[in-house]
């Protein structure tokens, strides 16, 4: 991959990889569009992310992880293997190390890379890490059975949300045994394997796991009903389809994320005037009834996206014509989608419609298929 392609990929990443391509990661885009192995796609993505400025978080773009390496690469003085060895070392340096020391260490590795191979650079990198972090990793807990469970909800600086957890052995084993079968890669479609990383597969599995658990009648709260969510948007943003929404207990979210949530929750819309006064607090409505879910199960058999074999319990009902466009909750305006493809439909140029025979079909973006030929899922047996 040449420097020009790297620059294009870096620009796509800076503008938001999901919005520009529908992929969840840069590695996924490279894997599917450049037809390389998943290992090579990951390595190329790491290079792009490390050698180019990152997305802005409300100011100047984030500086690259390896600016001196980027300069040497632009000169043509070092190759991919050497770059990878330097990047791996820099990524392991603790955040507590002063930036000046990091840059000094990078300079040493770059100068070595001008006349040495990846193995020599890796050995030098290990020595550098020993000098920068002489204490090494924290010792392990001698008795992990005594671990007290902890769970913390976090908001990152870039606006993303997350969880940090410490689990006892029994809880860890139970959770992992539940998620392992759900996190298996999707079956290959037309010879193209699932491009998600292991972390992404487990993330999607955890999303499905939470959805299944929160609709269980054995849990306290809404007892089998979809999650209740309060979403607030200004009237202008609602009408013009721009701006952001406010999610109760979370904060600002994009309008796109609000629409994704609305597909699988009991949504209570709050519309505000230009001065912030509440104009309307709508009644919460179940998006899909149990009878409709049965009908969708019979028709779609699982995720309806072409080539996907995800079963019904791991799918949600998506409104083909969005609620904001007055889409109705009826069978010919609904389609079952798994978490991965639900996001793809909302964040890319893929289109879905119900054909004349009553079955869903999907039209790919023109950059994937200039003929815009509709596709169907033939993985599920329909009766």
Long-range contacts of 162-165 (CB under 8 A, 24+ apart): none
pLDDT at 170 over 90: no
Model confidence band, residue 139 (pLDDT cutoffs 50, 70, 90):
very low
What CA dihedral angle connects 90, 92, 97 and 100, to 10 degrees?
0
Alpha carbons 347 and 259: distance in angstroms, whole number = 11
Angle, CA of 276, 280 and 285, to the nearest 5°: 130
Q: Is pLDDT above 80 for 81? A: yes
Q: Where are the domains of the chain?
A: 3-132, 228-281, 290-363
Fold of 290-363: DNA Binding (I), subunit A (1.10.30)
Q: Give which of 347, 288, 293 is closest to 319, Cα–Cα.
A: 288
Average pLDDT over residues 104-133: 91
Compute the Cα dihedral for 244, 247, 250, 256 and give only its sign: negative
- Rounded Cα distance between 332 and 231, Å, is 26
The overall pTM is greater than 0.75:
no
Mean pLDDT across the stretch 193-204? 80
Question: What is residue 119's predicted lDDT score, i.e. its pLDDT?
Answer: 92
Mean pLDDT of 108-113: 94
* pLDDT at res. 59: 53
Q: Is the dihedral of CA 147, 151, 155, 161 positive or negative?
A: positive
Mean pLDDT of the 212-226 span: 50
Q: How far apart are CA 305 and CA 309, in angstroms?
A: 9
Give the pLDDT confidence of 243-300 residue by residue, as tens digits.
Answer: 566 655 456 666 666 656 656 555 544 544 444 444 444 434 446 777 788 888 888 9
Distance, in Å, from the CA atom of 259 to the CA atom of 362, rounded to the nearest integer, reads 19
């Amino acid at each position: 991959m040449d420097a020009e392609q790297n620059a294009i990929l870096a620009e796509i990443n800076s503008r938001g990889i999901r919005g520009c391509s529908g992929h969840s990661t840069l590695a996924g885009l490279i894997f599917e569009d450049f037809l390389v192995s998943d290992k090579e796609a990951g390595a190329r993505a790491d290079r792009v992310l490390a050698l180019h400025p990152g997305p802005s978080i409300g100011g100047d773009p984030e500086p690259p992880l390896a600016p001196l390496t980027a300069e040497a690469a632009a000169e043509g003085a070092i190759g991919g293997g050497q770059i990878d060895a330097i990047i791996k070392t820099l990524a392991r340096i603790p955040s507590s190390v002063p930036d000046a020391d990091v840059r000094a260490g990078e300079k040493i590795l770059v100068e070595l890379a001008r006349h040495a191979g990846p193995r020599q650079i890796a050995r030098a990198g290990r020595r550098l890490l020993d000098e920068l972090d002489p204490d090494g990793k924290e010792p392990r807990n001698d008795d992990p059975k005594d671990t007290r469970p902890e769970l913390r909800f976090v908001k990152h600086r870039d606006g993303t949300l997350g969880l940090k957890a410490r689990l006892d052995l029994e809880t860890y084993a139970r959770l992992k045994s539940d998620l392992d079968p759900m996190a298996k890669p999707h079956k290959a479609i037309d010879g193209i394997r699932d491009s998600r990383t292991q972390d992404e597969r487990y993330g999607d599995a955890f999303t499905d796991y939470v959805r299944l658990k929160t609709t269980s009648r054995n849990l306290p709260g809404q007892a089998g009903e979809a999650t209740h969510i309060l979403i607030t948007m200004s009237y202008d943003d609602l009408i013009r389809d721009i701006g952001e929404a406010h999610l109760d207990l979370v904060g600002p979210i994009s309008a796109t994320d609000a629409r994704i949530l609305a597909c699988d929750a009991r949504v209570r819309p709050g519309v505000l005037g230009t001065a912030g006064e509440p104009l309307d607090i709508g009644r919460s409505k179940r998006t899909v009834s149990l009878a409709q879910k049965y009908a969708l199960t019979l028709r779609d058999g699982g995720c309806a996206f072409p080539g996907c074999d995800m079963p019904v319990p791991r799918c949600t009902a998506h409104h083909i014509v969005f609620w904001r466009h007055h889409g109705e909750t009826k069978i010919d305006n609904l389609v079952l989608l798994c978490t991965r493809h639900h996001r793809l439909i909302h964040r890319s140029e893929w289109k879905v419609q119900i054909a004349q025979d009553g079955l869903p079909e999907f039209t790919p973006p023109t950059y994937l298929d200039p003929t815009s030929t509709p596709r169907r899922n033939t993985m599920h047996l329909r009766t």
